[in-house]
Amino acid sequence: MKQKGSKIFVYSCIAPALLLFAVFMIYPTISVFRMSLYEWGGLSARRTFVGLKNFKVLLDDRFFLRSFQNTVLIITLVTIITLSIAIIFAYILIRERIKGENFFRVVFYIPNILSIAVIAAVFSAIYAPDQGLINGLGRLLNPDTWVNIQFLGNPRLVVYSVIGAMVWQAIGYYMVMYMASMGSIPTHLYEAAQIEGANRVRQFVDITLPLIWETVRTTLVFFIISSINISFLLVNVLTGGGPNGASEVFLSYLYRQAYNNASYGYGMAIGVVVFLFSFALAGLVSLVTKRDVVQY
């Protein structure tokens, strides 16, 4: 769209956003990169340049590696589980004549608007050993043989308990997104398929999925970003990273090192890794999922 005066218009529209972005995001990010090269406790003026030492230490820090593994596990499982449930429910709500569709749509979104403190309080009460909701139900059904499941105490289980809370929190958000995307698919496509004898599953695979593919791809990026962030907030209040660091994730470990262990520079090195990792992962996912855009 070439037109006279468009240059001034374009740059005056972009300039304010770019300026704020540069000052409050690009510059601080660069300083994070810079501080990752220092040994610094974070409070005093005593600061030593150590080059890439912090990154070298990271490579054999098994606690960091565990937080890395946990984060990857969380991103993967939260994405797969949430995505499948959200898409299926969205499809059902859009395609089937469900009574109270509106009600379900409103309710399913609610967990997404709750603050993490509320979610953590709720799941603490759900996961508690003796009087928790799940163990309570289990004992009701099997009063003699029930042994408490230690959702937050068993190191092999605790990450999955965090994942459970995250899925619960995210389903509605992604469901509404997929519904919005599915809602714009013209119904005549489905009608034609029905005449050809395609059942629901076929219709979903042949029509719905290809047509919402771009939306799915975009949400994959959201999953990566939000999983890293939400897992940190949730772990902080729900488990404190415990037991013995079993539920530690990227950012919670960053905090523990930067503040509790007086290794601010090291914490920032973790920050750099988190940034590069999530950026690269999103690029990779986006590349792998690239398909020709199907239009209708």
Partner 1 sequence: MNTQRALYRERFAKAIIYILLIALAISIIVPLFWVFSASIKENSEFYGNPWSLPKGLHWQNYRDAIRKARLGEYFFNSVFVTALSLTLLIAVAVPCAYVLARFNFKGRKIVNLLFMAGLFVNVNYIVVPIFLMLLGWNDIAWEILGRGIFLDNLVVLSVVYASTNLPFTIYLLSNYFRTLSRSFEEAAYIDGASHFKTMLHVMVPMAKPSIITVILFNFLAFWNEYIIALTLMPGPRKTLPVGLVNLNQAQRAAADYGPLYTGLVIVMLPVLILYIMTQKRLTQGMTIGGIKE
Partner 2 sequence: MLRKSLSICLLGLLLFAVIGSAVQAQTLKIAGLDGGWGREHWDELARRFEAANPGVTVELTLAQNIADILRPQIIARNYPDIIYLAVGSAGGLTDTLIKEQAILDITDVLDMEVPGEGVKVRDKIVPGFTDTLITNPYGDGKTYLAPLFYSPCGLFYNADLFGPGKYQLPETWDEFFELGNQAQQDGIALFTYPTTGYFDAFFYALLTQLGGPELFNRAMNYDVAAWESPEATRAFEIIGEIAKYTHPNTVAQANVANFTKNQQLILDNQALFIPNGTWLPNEMKDAPRADGFEWGFMALPKQSKDGDSYSYTFFEQMYIPKGARQVDLAKKFIAFMYTDEAAQVIYEKAGAVQPILGASELMADDDPNKLFYTIYDDGAKASMGAFAAAPPVAGVDLASILFGTIDSVVNGDVTVEQWQKDVVNAVAKIRAAIDAQ
Binding site for partner 2 (CB under 8 A): 39, 41-44, 46, 54, 57-58, 61, 63-64, 120, 124, 127-130, 148, 150-155, 237-240, 242-246, 256-257, 259-263, 265-266
> Using CB under 8 A, which of 65, 80, 113, 192 touches partner 1?
113
Instruction: Work out whether 115 is an interface residue with partner 1 (CB under 8 A).
Output: yes
Task: State phi, psi for 233 to the nearest 5 degrees.
Answer: -60, -40
Which partner, partner 1, partner 2, none, binds residue 63 by CB below 5 to 8 Å per kind?
Answer: partner 2
- Among 152, 115, 167, smallest CA distance to 239 is for 152
Closer to partner 1 by CB, 30 or 52: give it: 30
Rounded distance between C-alpha atoms, residue 174 and residue 166, angstroms: 12
Q: Which stretch binds partner 1 (CB under 8 A): 76-84, 127-135, 141-149, 153-161?
A: 127-135
Closer to partner 1 by CB, 156 or 296: give it: 296
Q: Which stretch binds partner 1 (CB under 8 A): 142-150, 155-163, 202-210, 225-233?
A: 225-233
Q: Which stretch binds partner 1 (CB under 8 A): 60-68, 95-103, 188-196, 201-209?
A: 95-103
Residue type, 244: N
Instruction: Work out whether 197 is an interface residue with partner 1 (CB under 8 A).
Output: no
Instruction: Work out whether 164 is an interface residue with partner 1 (CB under 8 A).
Output: no
Contact predicate 215/177, CB 8 Å: yes
Which H/E stretch holds residue 160?
A: helix 158-183
Print burial letters for 202-229: b (CB count within 10 Å at least 16), e (below 16). ebbeebbebbbbebbeebbeebbebbbe
Residue keyed to tokens 């009063």: 143
Contact predicate 248/241, CB 8 Å: yes
Instruction: Work out whether 127 is an interface residue with partner 1 (CB under 8 A).
Output: no
> Using CB under 8 A, which of 38, 68, 89, 151 touches partner 1?
89
Phi-psi region of 215 (alpha: psi -120 to 50; beta: other; left: phi over 0): alpha
Which partner, partner 2, partner 1, none, binds residue 240 by CB below 5 to 8 Å per kind?
Answer: partner 2
| DSSP structural state of residue 1 | -
Q: Is the dihedral of CA 255, 233, 22, 284 positive or negative?
A: positive
Which partner, partner 2, partner 1, none, binds residue 151 by CB below 5 to 8 Å per kind?
Answer: partner 2
Closer to partner 1 by CB, 1 or 287: give it: 1
Helix extents (H) in 213-259: 213-238, 250-255
Instruction: Work out whether 105 is an interface residue with partner 1 (CB under 8 A).
Output: yes
Q: Which two tokens stand for residue 108?
A: 């399913």
Which partner, partner 1, partner 2, none, binds residue 259 by CB below 5 to 8 Å per kind?
Answer: partner 2
Site string for partner 1, 8-37 (x = CB under 8 A): -xxxxxx-xxx-xx-xxxxxxx-xx--x--
To the nearest whole angstrom, how small is the minimum distance from the Cβ of residue 155 to partner 1? Answer: 23
Rounded distance between C-alpha atoms, residue 22 and residue 27, angstroms: 6
**35 burial via Cβ count (<10 Å: 0-12, 13-18, 19+):** buried
Binding residues for partner 1, total number by CB under 8 A: 91
Contact predicate 278/193, CB 8 Å: no
To the nearest whole angstrom, how small is the minimum distance from the Cβ of residue 60 to partner 1? Answer: 22
To the nearest whole angstrom, how small is the minimum distance from the Cβ of residue 249 to partner 2? Answer: 15
